[in-house]
Structure 1
Amino acid sequence: MQESFGEGPIPSAFVAHEGERFVGTVSVIACDEDSRPQYTPWVAALWVEPEHRRKGIGAALVGRASAFAFKAGAERIYLLSRAQRRPFYENLGWAVLEANAPEEGMFILVRDRSA
């Protein structure tokens, strides 16, 4: 938990809410895959409450986290996804960098500032 309290802009977390009600979250962190420390920063831990899914909240959270990471100076950002979520991210402009990494059925996706 202490690692989440850095001095710089990363790590950061974003929360979607309806009034006082939590509906989703996403984070921007330095590294989401220990075997790939050269990849940084990462959009990670996307969560939308089940009753609020398929309403654009996840896409908005990923977009906000991505914009934040680019504004903080990143030229490329990374994301780790399971196969079933891969099309969601690809529809948002992410591209596969590595397939079946770090394990079978997982994908490392990227998005460049210029994209």
Structure 2
Amino acid sequence: MTSDMAAQHEANVALVAQRVELGDAPHVPRPLDHLVVVPRRHAAAVQTDLVALGFRVDGVGRGLRRVRIEFSRIDAADVDTADASSQQIFDVVDRHGGEYDGWSGYLAADPADAPEA
């Protein structure tokens, strides 16, 4: 997990490059999953902030002191979009003493490459 946007940018660059090698069309929007870990006392506020940014909370795992929040949003998977989303998430978790664990999502094909019917 990281709370450093520079390190997250490097992770985003590497992840997008890996996904492109596997055939992903990064400009195609699709659901992308994210994970943060925050102090238990801030979990509700973090969820509220994430929903206000257009994310959907998909799961909450409560520990003794920390809470894992899984959430998603439909976004493109290119570096610029990943960096912008990551920055939004960092802004939220930094206010609440949490950490961002990154993003994932399925590979998407370019609709322009689909055969004509």
Which range, TM-score by smaller chain? 0.3 to 0.5
Relative to its length, the structure with more strand (as a share) is 1
TM-score, L = length of structure 2: 0.32
Give the TM-score of the pair, scaled to structure 1. 0.32
Higher helix content, 1 or 2: 2
Higher relative contact order (CA 8 A, sep 6+): 2
Which has more radius of gyration?
2
